């Protein structure tokens, strides 16, 4: 059975000092609804300790400093594509410079986030902007960290070791692979890259621009928001960069409490549920996506491997190496500003690279996983608690030590922002039963099929974000409405939420949605899905739930 462990040592940062006399006097003469932060708020670093006190940062090896001004083949002029600048993203192998094929949109979870169209999910006229006649009264944000180095021991570092070994025993390269003769591995592990930091900072700027008026709620109550994250170093830096973009520098140090929850095996944390879900990485349960994706890769890159092998001796390239080189294209671009590995692959290779990640995430953390809904249940229950103003029942990976105290888990905020990992964002989307994101048959492991709406780069890229808007719409009955947005795409819910009508703006009655989600939560059996002995396989849409005999 699942044991709930209290994280007594882990909170997070509080940043909030009382304004100076001058600031207080200035604030006193302004309309209270427009002034933030509220006067008289003070820091309490004992309740919200910083990263240095919380600990549990995870691996933190840094890599070489980027030197793109010297190594890149072209200068990264800002042509208006903020999702790339200042990265150099080349065309795929054999494409001309006039092609509009953007390889960075085919990197799966390693893609930089970009705006997805509501039309992709069946709402061609919907916009993230408040529908006419409606006013947004509350916003909930669940978002992923920005671009990072590879995780410890991932394929890129293993490939680098293979190259280093071959170099010592007579590696010879020519043509496209000439650069490998003096290539060295320059990546660290786990930490955010400079570009990754900028993604979270700019996300904070964007959300202040769009939702800043909701800060009036805190001015009226004389409080400051609590934003949450996990203790891994990149997660703390993610929340800090988002807060810096939202509140400014150094203002964010005084205007938001950042709660750091310990992320470590055996400790409850809605932002890292896999640490307490035993079936999460079991090959025939929560890990089937990794197996399916590896099987797909066995034949997906044959022609490219043959082409590259013809330009190298002293080494034998494998499908695993092809994926590793494609990952180096992604990671080096994010970390160093440019990667020679990108030039090695064709448009078809990048399409297959995306599908490799589609398979992995669909079956590891999407509807094809038997544990994804259980892992997302923690966030679902926390959202429901905030919707209803009652503390959640601890029947998932959420940490009841913090979720039953209004200091650490406030129930009346108008703005919420929780940072987590991409797998957990996807787990939450499955727990919320947003089936429009996964519409179509289960993904085929035998070929690159686009019959399903699920595309990893659209849903789990670096800095992905899942937004919930609560609105007041006087012309509607009832007036309190709600809707869900993923990377700027409004998601329709009428087909999976009983009682929700077809609505061009994705709206549905707040009370009805809460009722539907409460039923969904009650159906998710965390203990069974995460601890029972069963077998799952690819080719099935489990809706995130474990099969029962």
- Three state DSSP letters for 356-378: HHHHHHHHHCCCCCCCHHHHHHH
Ramachandran region of residue 534, left (φ > 0), alpha (ψ -120 to 50) or beta?
Answer: beta
* H-helix or E-strand spanning residue 199: helix 194-211
Taking the model in full, what pTM does it have? 0.88
d(CA 285, CA 532): 10
What Cα–Cα distance (Å) separates residue 344 from each residue in 94, 184, 302, 341, 364? 9, 17, 14, 6, 29
Contacts of 513 (CB under 8 A, 6+ apart): 482, 493, 497, 500
* C-beta separation of 74 from 342 below 8 A: no
What are the residues whose beta carbons fall under 8 Å from the beta carbon of 442, sequence distance 6 or more?
362, 367, 368, 452, 538, 539, 540, 541
> How far is residue 84's CA from residue 76's CA, in Å, rounded to a whole number?
9
Are 481 and 507 in contact by the 8 Å Cβ rule? The answer is yes
In terms of DSSP bridges, do strands 256-261 and 226-230 run parallel, antiparallel, or are they unpaired?
Answer: parallel
pLDDT attached to residue 390: 96
pLDDT digits (tens, 9 = 90+) for 277-330: 999 999 999 999 999 999 999 999 999 999 999 999 999 999 999 999 999 999
In a domain, 385, yes or no: yes
Confirm whether 166 is domain-assigned.
Answer: no
Look up the CATH number of the domain holding residue 215: 3.40.50.1240
Q: What is the pLDDT of residue 428?
A: 98
Asked whether residue 190 carries a pLDDT value surpassing 80, the answer given is yes
Among residues of the chain, what percentage have pLDDT more than 90? 77
Query: Are 72 and 335 in contact, with CB atoms under 8 Å apart?
Result: no
Number of domains observed in the structure of the chain: 1
Assess if residue 378 is contained within a domain: yes
The answer to whether residue 51 sits within a structural domain is yes
Tell me if 244 is assigned to some domain.
yes
Query: In this predicted structure, which of 265-269, 449-453, 461-465, 499-503 has the lowest mean pLDDT?
Result: 449-453
Q: Which domain does 273 fall in, by range?
A: 13-57+126-147+194-248+258-283+369-531
Domain-located, residue 467? yes
- Can you say whether residue 80 is alpha, beta or left, with left for phi > 0 and alpha for psi between -120 and 50 degrees? left
* Segment 303-318, tens digit of pLDDT: 999 999 999 999 999 9
Domain membership of residue 242 (yes or no) is yes
Q: Is residue 421 a part of any domain in this protein? A: yes
């Amino acid at each position: 059975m699942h044991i709930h462990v209290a994280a007594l040592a882990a909170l997070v940062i509080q940043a909030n000092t009382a304004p100076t006399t001058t600031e207080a006097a200035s604030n006193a003469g302004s309309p209270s609804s427009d002034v933030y932060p509220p006067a008289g708020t003070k820091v309490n670093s004992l309740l919200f300790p910083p990263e240095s006190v919380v600990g549990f940062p995870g691996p933190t090896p840094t890599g070489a400093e980027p030197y793109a001004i010297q190594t890149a083949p072209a200068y990264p002029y800002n042509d208006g594509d903020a999702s790339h600048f200042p990265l150099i993203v080349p065309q795929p192998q054999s494409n001309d410079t006039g092609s509009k094929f953007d390889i960075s949109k085919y990197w799966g979870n390693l893609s930089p986030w970009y705006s997805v169209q509501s039309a992709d999910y069946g709402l061609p006229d919907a916009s993230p902007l408040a529908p006419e006649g409606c006013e947004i009264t509350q916003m909930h944000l669940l978002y992923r960290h920005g671009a990072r180095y590879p995780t410890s021991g991932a394929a890129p570092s293993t490939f680098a070791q293979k190259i280093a070994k071959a170099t010592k025993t007579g590696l010879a390269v020519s043509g496209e692979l000439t650069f490998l003769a003096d290539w060295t591995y320059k990546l660290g592990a786990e930490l955010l890259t400079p570009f990754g930091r900028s993604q979270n900072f700019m996300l904070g700027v964007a959300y202040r621009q769009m939702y800043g008026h909701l800060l009036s709620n805190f001015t009226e109550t004389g409080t400051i928001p609590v934003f949450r994250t996990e203790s891994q170093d990149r997660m703390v830096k993610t929340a800090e960069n988002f807060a810096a973009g939202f509140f400014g520098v150094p203002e964010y140090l005084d205007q938001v409490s950042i709660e750091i929850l310990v992320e470590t095996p055996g400790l409850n944390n809605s932002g890292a549920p896999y640490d307490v879900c035993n079936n999460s990485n079991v090959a025939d349960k929560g890990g089937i996506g990794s197996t399916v994706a590896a099987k797909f890769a066995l034949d997906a890159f044959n022609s490219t491997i043959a082409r590259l092998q013809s330009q190298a001796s002293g080494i034998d390239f494998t499908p695993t190496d092809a994926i590793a080189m494609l990952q180096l294209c992604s990671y080096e671009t994010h970390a160093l500003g440019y990667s020679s590995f990108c030039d090695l692959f064709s448009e078809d290779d990048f399409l297959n690279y995306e599908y490799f990640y589609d398979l992995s995430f669909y079956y590891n953390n999407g509807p094809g996983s038997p544990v994804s809904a259980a892992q997302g249940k923690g966030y679902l229950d926390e959202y429901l608690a905030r919707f209803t103003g009652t503390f959640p029942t601890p029947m998932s990976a959420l940490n009841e030590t913090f979720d039953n105290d209004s200091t650490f888990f406030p129930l009346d905020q108008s703005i919420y922002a929780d940072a987590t990992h991409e797998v957990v964002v996807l787990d939450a989307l499955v727990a919320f039963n947003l089936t429009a994101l996964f519409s179509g048959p289960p993904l085929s492991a035998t070929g690159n099929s686009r019959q399903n709406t699920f595309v990893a780069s659209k849903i789990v890229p670096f800095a992905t974000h899942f937004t919930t808007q609560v609105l007041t719409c006087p012309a509607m009955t009832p007036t309190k409405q709600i809707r869900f947005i993923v990377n700027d795409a409004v998601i329709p819910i009428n087909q999976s939420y009983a009682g929700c009508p077809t609505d061009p703006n994705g709206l549905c009655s707040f009370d009805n949605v809460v009722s539907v989600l409460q039923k969904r939560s009650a159906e998710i059996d965390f203990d069974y899905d995460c601890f029972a002995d069963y077998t799952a396989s690819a080719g099935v849409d489990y809706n995130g739930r474990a099969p029962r005999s």
